[in-house]
A and B are shown apart, each in its own frame.
Chain A
Amino acid sequence: MMTDATYLHSLGLIVAAAVVMAFAAKLVKMPTIVAFLLAGLVIGPLTGLVAMSHALELISEIGIALLLFIVGLELSLDKIREVGRVAVVAGIGQVVFTALIGFGLTLLMGFTPMESAFLATALTFSSTVVVVKLLDEKREMDSLYGRIAVGIFLVQDLVAIVMLTFLAGLGRDTGAGPAELATGVAKAFGGMILLLGTTLAAAKWILPRPFAWASRSPETTFLWSLCWCFLAVLGAKLLGLSLEIGAFLAGLSLAQLPFNQDVRVRLHPLMSFFIAVFFVSLGVKMDLGAALASAWTVAALSLFVLIGNPFIFIWIISRMGYSEKTSFFTGVTVAQISEFSFILVTMGVANGIVAPEILSLTAMIGLITISLSSYFILYNRQLYDFCRRAGWLKFFRARQDDTGEAPPPAISDHVIIVGINSLGRELATRLAADGNRVLAIDTDPAKLKGLPCETLLGNIQYAAVLEEAGLRRARLVVSALRIEEANELLAYHCRAEGVSYATNVMDLGGMDHLLAMDTRYMITPKVDGMKRARKELETLGILPS
């Protein structure tokens, strides 16, 4: 009955390859991004099983949009403003330094000035998608270095748009004159300001009311949030900006609203699917043929990106007063080239300015730097300790004390109440009154209002919500829900984490199963209500005491 078996076949192969490589990656502690890229290489250039199609490109684009939308949702405007200065200075500073040094290096290697210009620019940009995905995996998006990195990448995205405008003009007969370049720059910044202004104004004056109404139904909020994301992406495209910027601003504008966390958690599985397709597709698209012949060039330029870029960053950021640790962590995030680099060089090849071999070279450098920098980011603490012990960081003379830059301590030794119905509300109120640290979770923001404890909007079906609630550090988890499946799921997670669990039991027939899962206490409101009714009959003298 399906009309396009090739499309499903390709998608199936991409997913299957991603799973096989992801499993293998877990065994050798390889970052999943690297696994996805390798999967793409296997089913693409190596075997030719999958070829890119419009539908796969669209899925990749949606994946990028969702990823950046989620990043925006996680970062409020205040958090971005906090790192705005360092992001602009470091972002532009690094672009200038890397481009200049890269240009010199490639000229020395024998490339033509035009090829050197393209290669140096390609080496300048770091991949927002790769880094954001890894930060998300490490759950460090909200850390200081994560926020600086995201700020820098957004600045880089803007610079990339300007550079693309400029370099695209190089292919034309007329070339890109100063007026054209100025127009390009003005358009990019004007578009950015217009989009930012529109999304933030909407977030402040238009969106809160309808979204507050819609948030009673998570499905409605989910769909409207997606609509908002796509609307901003289309707006960005219309203004000549990247879809990353559009999606990020859409997320940022919704981040000011109270349900942002729930939307983020709900979008995550969807994003994971689309973004896996994006990374595998990236591997599929890589044409490494010619690059293999110039291994030394690839190695030298890769080393420049892997070491040179972080070096420049650590130096700039530490000069701005940040600690050695934060500067280092931020620095290693930029040790790879970006998907923009591929677009840029592809444009150069299409315009006949650079040879096709340059594209293969860029692809190979991309593969190497994305793979290795993924390890850098995932194991940044170990890498930092190693470099510090080796004394390699002394050169930067950065501040050692990182007080004030560390994230606040995570919630612990608390009681989690899931489901704020009448029972949940009673429990939360009484436990808090007894001086316990209580965290109440529900999917309805109205139910969380007015509780005398900390609250979290979300659905416990998502592991990310339990992670956010600090389940493994909790003293006790209590479910007041009248949903059997959810209560059993909580019992399952609590047993796995070794956390005590108490639950509301509506059907006494289900008790055995819950007991088998180490449930410590069963709340039986029906039975307790009957006992109380009986007590009332005793008080009235109808039943003997």
Chain B
Amino acid sequence: MIEIAALLFAAAVGVTIANWLSLPGIPLLLLCGWGLTLAGFTLSPDTLSKSLELGLAFLVFASGAELDPRRLHGRARETLVATLVQMVAIGTLIYAGARWMGYGNRIALHFAVAFSASSTLVATRQLRRLGQTLEPFARFSTRVLLTQDFFVVLLLAALATVDGRAGGPLAALAKVPLLLAPALACQRWVLPWLLARRHFGEETLLLFLLAALFLFLAGAGALGLPLIVGAFFAGMVFSPFPASSVVRGQLASLSEFFAALFFTTLAQLAAKPEPALLAKAAVFAVLILLVRPLLGTLFARRAGLESRAAVESGLLLAQVSEYALIVALVGFQSGILGREDFALIGLVTALTMTVTPFVADDRMASRLLRFWRKPRQPETRPEWRDHVLMIGYGAGGKWIMKPLLDAGVEVLVVDDDPAVAAQLHAKGIACICGDGADPQVLAAAGAVRARAVLASPRRVADALKMLRSAAGVPVIVRVFETAEADEVRRLGGIPVMNSSAGADHFMDWFRQTTAASERVPKPAG
């Protein structure tokens, strides 16, 4: 009990610091777990192994439960290509780098697999933090991340037998379908049957979930596969909607608890990092931070994302997955990796994860977009006058452009996305590729001589710059919060708050339906 309490305490401290600094939790959990070791707190081998076992099982199970087939619907090929090519490219690079540093073949292979995927947990957290989960780049990145998780699990199955045990990697991979098939069968037939019986209640559903986990763990054990393969496939059973959503809450409690124990416990296995080890970790981390965003951007662009979205997607994937730690654990427990190798993987994972919030944001994307090859600027008139200046051309811009053109209004767009600018040029619509908050760009766009400015800024601070640069011109600004609307109004702008507009329409509907029948009629069935 004391050991569990100490681990939980370390985890709580780690998560608190992570929240305070707006950093991902995993590096801080590792750090606090390691802090426990430094403080002389050593877990008994029994607690160590059991914390790792259960933590690993629940962590991977939760990861499998995220693999909703709907997410890949219609995009499977593009996602597969993006995932596999990136994983192979990064893996090869890491393998070559490790060999060059003098690591043996098997250790280099472990490094290659460990560093080949990006972190679903960290990326999802970052997207939620920035409110970007519904952006097209977020959907693309999430698809890639989930597919990466699946392939890492397969690679782990192969890796666990790389020393020739149980017939070698190919034999291990050949056994995978024997576990995948029942998982898919349960997903298709057993789960709908279970969900149809709502009277079973939450507790029974939770027990069923746990039983599936242990059953698949047993199945993996019987087939000689690593248990995490069983845990992942058990999670996949619950991945389709509505099961994924129904069990998410239950699973979240379990996985949060066990993951906290897992990551803090894991640090107990690592050696104290010496300067040479730190240097090696830094080399790997820099390599990953440089190459992965490039590859990610390239494939996102190939998948049809616009330039900014592609860059944001690339940046979002610029870290190593939590699966790296699992690969490290597999390697350590099979005796291939030593404590130093284990520490190296932990360090690279922690470093790249920690950097993510600083690189995966729209400021960094804006900076990088400056290096993007800009489309040839069209011949614009030396002095724009009596036009409508549209700053930012998103979905809203598209919707409003047509009536403006139909009404014979001259429209000039300012957008920092080269792909958007190129598309507009192709359609014969004037566009300046640049930052809409830059006074020089606004001056070139004739903001002070426009009939009106329509602004959809990412940050309200940008809107305020626009208002100052277009003094005397009606500026319609999209805002998200009441305080922002008040500020825009105070500076003479016309705020348009989407939520307020949405609420107006909703209230109209609600009052009508309420008036029609005192109670809102219930849907049939």
Contact = CB atoms under 8 A, between A and B. Distances in A.
A528 B474 contact: no
A478 B131 contact: no
B250 interface: yes
A5 B12 CA distance: 29
A386 interface: no
A226 B330 CA distance: 29
Chain B contact residues (Cβ within 8 angstroms of A): what range?
A: 35 or more
B217 A8 contact: yes
B254 A461 contact: no
Of residues B15, B213, B521, which shows the largest number of chain A Cβ atoms within 10 Å of its Cβ?
B15
A423 B214 contact: no
B503 A533 contact: no
A230 B409 contact: no
B11 A223 contact: yes
B245 A16 contact: no
A542 B520 contact: no
B4 interface: yes
Contact of A1 (B204, B333, B396, B506): B333
B396 A498 contact: no
Contacts of A5: 221
A222 B228 CA distance: 26
B254 A7 contact: no
Contact of B507 (A7, A220, A237, A430): A430
A22 B501 contact: no
B475 to A, nearest CB: 10
Which of A486, A489, A525 gathers the greatest number of chain B CB atoms within 10 Å? Answer: A525
B499 A485 contact: no
Interface in A251-285: 266-270, 272-273, 276
Given A267-B253, A524-B502, A483 B133 contact: yes
A237 B5 CA distance: 13
Contacts of B246: 463, 489, 492
A507 B133 CA distance: 11
B248 interface: yes
B501 A476 contact: no
A253 B498 CA distance: 43
B245 A489 contact: yes
A421 B499 contact: yes
Interface in A453-491: 459, 461-464, 475-476, 478, 480, 482-486, 488-489
Given A426-B503, A463-B202, A533-B400, A482 B254 contact: no
Interface string A496-510: 101110101011000
Nearest to B12: A223
A543 interface: yes
Contacts of B396: 526, 529-530, 533
Interface in B1-29: 1-2, 4-5, 8-9, 11-12, 15-16, 19, 25
A544 interface: yes
Contacts of A219: 15, 25, 256
B498 A540 contact: no
Interface stretch (A53-61, A144-152, A178-186): A53-61
A217 B252 CA distance: 14
A26 interface: yes
Nearest to B249: A461
Contacts of A1: 160, 226-228, 329-330, 333-334
Nearest to A13: B214
A422 B481 contact: yes
Interface string A218-233: 0110111011001101
B215 A12 contact: yes
Contact of B15 (A26, A223, A488): A223
B189 interface: no
Nearest to A518: B523
B443 interface: no
Given A12-B215, A529-B478, A536-B494, A430 B503 contact: yes
B241 interface: yes
Contacts of B2: 234
Given A266-B253, A483-B133, A23 B204 contact: yes
Interface string B184-212: 00000000000000111011101110110
Contact of B500 (A426, A486, A527, A544): A426
Contact of A533 (B11, B49, B211, B478): B478
Contacts of A268: 253
Interface in A329-362: none
Interface in B44-62: 46, 49-50, 53, 57
Contacts of B221: 5
B501 A532 contact: yes
Given A7-B53, A12-B217, A530 B519 contact: no
Contact of B496 (A273, A502, A532, A543): A532
A485 B243 CA distance: 11
A273 B61 CA distance: 15
Interface in B422-481: 451-452, 454, 474, 476, 478, 480-481
A233 B2 CA distance: 10
Given A11-B214, A431-B510, A426 B496 contact: no
A21 to B, nearest CB: 10
B400 A534 contact: yes
A88 interface: no
A427 B506 contact: yes
Which of A223, A226, A234 gathers most chain B CB within 10 Å?
A223
Given A507-B134, A529-B396, A54 B214 contact: no
Interface string B239-280: 001101110111111101100100000000000000000000
Contacts of A26: 199-200, 204
A88 to B, nearest CB: 30
Contacts of A500: 520-523
A523 interface: yes
A532 B9 CA distance: 51
B513 to A, nearest CB: 8
A464 B198 CA distance: 14
A109 interface: no
A529 to B, nearest CB: 3
Among A219, A518, A540, chain B packs the most CB atoms within 10 A around the CB of A219
B400 A423 contact: no
Contact of B520 (A227, A475, A489): A475
Nearest to A20: B211
A423 B499 contact: yes
B19 A220 contact: yes
Given A16-B214, A488-B245, A525-B501, 14 more contacts: A12-B215, A16-B215, A55-B46, A231-B5, A268-B253, A269-B251, A463-B246, A489-B246, A496-B198, A502-B510, A504-B502, A518-B524, A533-B400, A537-B400
Which 10 residue pairs of A and B lie closest in terms of their CB atoms, listed nearest first? Answer: A12-B214, A525-B502, A461-B249, A529-B498, A489-B245, A528-B501, A230-B5, A525-B498, A423-B499, A426-B503
Interface of A: 1-5, 7-9, 11-12, 15-16, 18-19, 22-23, 26, 32, 54-55, 58, 61-62, 137, 214, 216-217, 219-220, 222-224, 226-227, 230-231, 233-234, 237, 266-270, 272-273, 276, 413, 421-423, 425-427, 430-431, 434, 459, 461-464, 475-476, 478, 480, 482-486, 488-489, 492, 495-496, 498-500, 502, 504, 506-507, 518, 520-521, 523-534, 536-537, 540, 542-544
23 contacts: A3-B333, A5-B221, A7-B53, A15-B207, A32-B204, A220-B12, A222-B257, A227-B5, A269-B250, A270-B257, A422-B481, A427-B506, A480-B499, A489-B245, A498-B523, A502-B509, A504-B502, A507-B134, A518-B523, A530-B400, A543-B404, A543-B407, A544-B407
Interface of B: 1-2, 4-5, 8-9, 11-12, 15-16, 19, 25, 46, 49-50, 53, 57, 131, 133-134, 160, 198-200, 202-204, 206-208, 210-211, 213-215, 217-218, 221, 226-228, 241-242, 244-246, 248-254, 256-257, 260, 329-330, 333-334, 388, 395-396, 399-400, 403-404, 407, 409, 451-452, 454, 474, 476, 478, 480-482, 494, 496-507, 509-511, 519-525
